[in-house]
Structure 1
């Protein structure tokens, strides 16, 4: 039997329909809502992860559905030890396996202690200080803005024309500026349409982020966009209708463009689609913005990640730094009180 890819409809609802316990209208209403349970991006990720597990199970001659907990644990351990996959990737794989089992009416093998121990062990073995994207700070933005419109060599070995380089560079500059100002995740940036951007009288803008990783219910957030960024966006719009996506790029394409722009600017490797968000967080911390305000700006629910990104910038405000900046001469202390 070839195990199915993740289903949206709940099998128990369909069984109830077959038994006459629910009407066709009941089933349509319920299954219609179930389709909005998780995002389309998550479904795509789950499909990919599930295919990988099905392939692995087939080579072992073990069933993928319903899977035994020890087989899932062995699969995750192999991906970590032999393929070098990160703990975060393993957690997505486990979530995909759990999703398929739950939605097909089988017991979830990922709730077994052995699978949980495997994931915890991988996290500890890898260490929590995983590689972080380099922050695309204001200085890095200036370097990209100064070089983005210079012609580059393409995949075919030919150099861009001046006109093509200017068009591409203008998009790169607008992309990086907007992602920094709004502290956008790549998925948020990819989903933006021109109707989400509004200009206000002082030349700045307001950006509506309709849905995000930390806002799956789509309550939305409105964020500030600087006047220079609004000018950069206006330069690339070229009469695009309100319903068109701003950059017409996928999340992977956005990350690749930022990486290439950073390399062309001489900033080195290590930049990604997360870099503008990290860099703005570092810039804000550097000027004294406190963690609660930083969390609001970046739409973080937990202080863990913004504190991690800005640990170098906030070190000089720690307890020991305060000790060394405190006047040791009693006369000086009296003057400061």
Structure 2
């Protein structure tokens, strides 16, 4: 029996059985859950329009990232079964266990020293993909069998891999990243304003990269704090990682910053002004707007700010792609692009880009808030964490001796 040595993205679909190739014929974000599952049966009983309606909502049940991961994992599992003469669907639990055991022993080709090809977390995701495809076909999941569960438990105990965590962007790190933005004038000023908003909203709002990428102008409202009269932003989140259905509306509040260059409300005001100018007057108008941008950044611009009055297309993405010529696209940045942006600024600031990513902004909020004396409940509220243990990990990073009995030993 051959070991599992290939990475999933190295598996060619033309190696799969004809039935599997047919199920994977759609090259878009259509999921193997949809192609394999209920839609196939519906197409035999209903017309194309009805089947497409069902397909559309089944696809919406999972995030695009999850669909892509499940597709990759199912292709790898199907290819191994085809090579070994096993049956991918429905799967035998013993076959699944052997597949995971071999995958756990696989090493990356060309790595020196040899590195594991798959982490325990990746194997857990592979198990979830196999279970999801079986569930979509109305079949019992082989991953619930004791032999599979015990195999995965044994892999985790044997490997005991330390989870790789991105380094948090603390306040001084955020200042370093902001210092590496392009010039405020044309054309770099367009990217500068968008990236300022991304970094400040991601940090102060403790947002995930997928949440940042999904924001539209309709999701952000400028309001006034009734207690202080200061401007603030209300950011409403739709579908999130912890609320996949979007039924419980989540929102975060971003207050006015003490300094103009780290004020989220000022960043939103500047970006909205630029987007409105672009809509009204095109690139020539934006070029004129950015002529005196350096001076404009030195003062707060968030007082009496009402951005929604100026914008008619509130459904447009808040953080669109911008090219090097200052061109603004209609498509939003992807979650991966958000992560790459943080890495790029970290590299410019002389930091190791491999240690930073999209999660660094969210982790940075929790860690910096803990350093500032914020309690668990306060941090959990803004970050929408439901498990205090998650927050405690950030607090231990911020101050490992806080509330620690070792300080009372008298050493």
Displacement of 1:104 after TM fit?
A: 1.4
TM-score w.r.t. the length of structure 2 is: 0.67
- What is the distance in 1 between the residues matched to 2:195 and 2:59? 35
Aligned match of 1:181 in 199, 204, 225? 204
Q: What is the DSSP-based 3-state SS (H/G/I as helix, E as strand, rest coil) of the residue aligned with 1:288?
A: coil
Structure 2 residue 271 is matched with structure 1 residue 236: yes
Displacement of 1:92 after TM fit?
A: 1.5
Structure 2 residue 351 is matched with structure 1 residue 267: yes
Larger deviation: 246-255 or 36-45? 36-45
Larger deviation: 275-284 or 90-99? 90-99
Q: Is the 8 A contact 2:34 2:136 kept in 1?
A: yes
1:199-238 to 2 correspondence within 5 Å?
A: 199-201=222-224, 202-218=230-246, 219-227=248-256, 228-237=263-272, 238=275
Displacement of 1:245 after TM fit?
A: 1.1
Q: Is the 8 A contact 1:8 1:35 kept in 2?
A: no
Displacement of 1:9 after TM fit?
A: 8.6
Q: State the 4+ residue runs in structure 1 displaced beyond 6 angstroms.
A: 26-33
Change (3 A) 1:173 1:30: closer
Change (3 A) 1:32 1:291: same
* 2:297 alignment counterpart: none
Q: Is the 8 A contact 1:73 1:118 kept in 2?
A: yes
TM-score w.r.t. the length of structure 1 is: 0.81
Aligned match of 1:289 in 364, 374, 386? 374
Unmatched segments (≥5 aa) in structure 2: 1-17, 24-31, 108-115, 225-229, 257-262, 280-312, 320-331
- What is the distance in 2 between the residues matched to 1:29 and 1:82? 41
Spell out, residue by residue over 1:58-85, the C-alpha distance to the aligned partner (whole angstroms, 9 max, x if none): 2222221122212222222333321422
- What is the distance in 2 between the residues matched to 1:9 and 1:34? 12
- What is the distance in 1 between the residues matched to 2:159 and 2:195? 34
1:108-123 to 2 correspondence within 5 Å?
A: 108-123=141-156
* 2:362 alignment counterpart: 277
- What is the distance in 2 between the residues matched to 1:43 and 1:169? 33
* 2:157 alignment counterpart: 124
Aligned length: 312
- What is the distance in 2 between the residues matched to 1:98 and 1:284? 39
Displacement of 1:185 after TM fit?
A: 0.7
Displacement of 1:14 after TM fit?
A: 4.8
Q: Is the 8 A contact 2:207 2:362 kept in 1?
A: yes
Q: What is the DSSP-based 3-state SS (H/G/I as helix, E as strand, rest coil) of the residue aligned with 1:2?
A: helix
Larger deviation: 83-92 or 38-47? 38-47
- What is the distance in 2 between the residues matched to 1:145 and 1:39? 31
Larger deviation: 169-178 or 209-218? 169-178
- What is the distance in 2 between the residues matched to 1:78 and 1:126? 14
| CA RMSD between the two structures | 3.2
Change (3 A) 1:168 1:124: farther
Larger deviation: 295-304 or 207-216? 295-304
Q: What is the DSSP-based 3-state SS (H/G/I as helix, E as strand, rest coil) of the residue aligned with 2:231?
A: coil
Change (3 A) 1:61 1:311: same
